[in-house]
Amino acid sequence: MGDGVEPIVVTWVFDAADPAGLASVLARYVVLTRRADGCRNVDLVASATHVGRSMIVEKWASTSMQRAHLDSDIAVEMARACDGLLTGPPSVDRWEPVSAQDVE
């Protein structure tokens, strides 16, 4: 697990102090990230039950490509642009695939 070879999913959950401002920042990030090397998919969704909560779901070809993206200008710019738009830091989680054959 986490060896940089297997595909992974990363989720970011944001709670907005300024929902319109945050939506603009996150939409730009998603569009630019879709072009990143190793990005298989990225989506932006809004919570239907928590006003002002958004989530980005990223699928990456490998852990190493996702980690490289975190140091990219795109990710750094997004983090800086979120300053003052959030109620607190985003919740970030990395998910690794589970094969149905691995489940007993």
Give the pTM. 0.87
| pLDDT score recorded for residue 44 | 98
- The tens digit of pLDDT for each residue in 13-67 reads 999 999 999 999 999 999 999 999 999 999 999 999 999 999 999 999 999 999 9
Residue 47 CB partners (closer than 8 Å, separation 6+): 53, 54, 55
* pLDDT score recorded for residue 1: 46
